[in-house]
Amino acid sequence: MKILVAVKRVIDYNVKIRIKSDHSGVETANVKMSMNPFDEIAVEEAVRLKEAGIATEVIAVSCGLTQSQETLRTAMAIGADRGILLETEVELQPLAVAKLLKAIVDKEQPDLIFLGKQAIDDDSNQTGQMLAALLNLPQATFASKVQVSDGKVTVTREVDGGLETLSLTLPAVITTDLRLNEPRYATLPNIMKAKKKPLEILKPEDLGVDIAPRMKTLKVMEPPTRKAGVMVPDIKTLIEKLKNEAKVI
């Protein structure tokens, strides 16, 4: 069984985000970058399936700048067998990423596709669902438990009302949630081994995929600073302030 895992290079979750002076986006120059945390969980789950003897190969795929090779090397240090980089300078939106991943799925024919449920930079939570739709494959999002057997995958997913269990026929698309697993740290020997693993670099035009942006960012602004709260002595005063000052009732 072959597993394909999509990984994204994002600003590290420990870094405080800064807006560019021209308000065109967020500052990425000289900023620490790392693999999207939800994608780390996806890689870990794929590697665990390989270690359990269920999967035979794990392929990590990333879309974006040349520096995304570092992210793929991290995935290979965790346990992926090889990497594929779809290299482009264009700012990729979820639909473009889904189209690129579809082209790779058509080429590699994996039995299972893992993605993080969302990226922590744009928080779109769209790519996995769009990919499943483009491939016309069953999907399970926000997975907190994954079991594969007899050509099917059983996924426990987190929903507003609690937990839901789905049974999907393979091939299928799964997006991973926080409680699925705890990713391992890449050891130094594995980091060194990852440097020797194969990494294929492709261009979107090689795959005949249109990645032109469908949306335009007009302006990026800091959220307004919240005002300090006010203590009131009683309910009557609270209602008066809500009515006369906040004007919400």
Domain boundaries, the chain: 2-221
User: Distances in Å between the alpha carbon of 43 and those of 4, 31, 59, 120, 225?
Assistant: 9, 24, 9, 16, 37
What CATH class does 2-221 carry?
A: alpha beta
Full-model pTM: 0.84
Mapped onto helix, strand or coil, the DSSP state of residue 134 is helix
How is 55-111 classified by DSSP, letter by letter?
A: -SEEEEEEEESTTHHHHHHHHHHHT-SEEEEEE-SSPPPHHHHHHHHHHHHHHH--S
Percent of the chain predicted with pLDDT > 70: 100
- pLDDT category of residue 249 using cuts at 50, 70 and 90: confident
Question: Which residues neighbour 11 within 8 Å (Cβ) at sequence distance 6 or greater?
Answer: 17, 26, 28, 31, 32, 33, 34, 120, 121
12-28: average pLDDT: 87
Whole-angstrom distance, CA of residue 63 vs CA of residue 87: 6
Per-residue model confidence (pLDDT) at position 110: 95
Mean of the per-residue pLDDT values of the chain: 92
Per-residue model confidence (pLDDT) at position 188: 93
- pLDDT(50) > 90: yes
pLDDT tens track for 89-148: 888 999 999 999 999 999 999 999 999 999 998 899 999 999 999 999 999 999 999 999
Q: DSSP letter at 26?
A: B
Number of H helices, E strands in the chain: 7, 11
Per-residue model confidence (pLDDT) at position 129: 95
pLDDT tens track for 214-235: 888 888 888 888 888 888 899 9
Whole-angstrom distance, CA of residue 118 vs CA of residue 116: 5
Per-residue model confidence (pLDDT) at position 247: 83
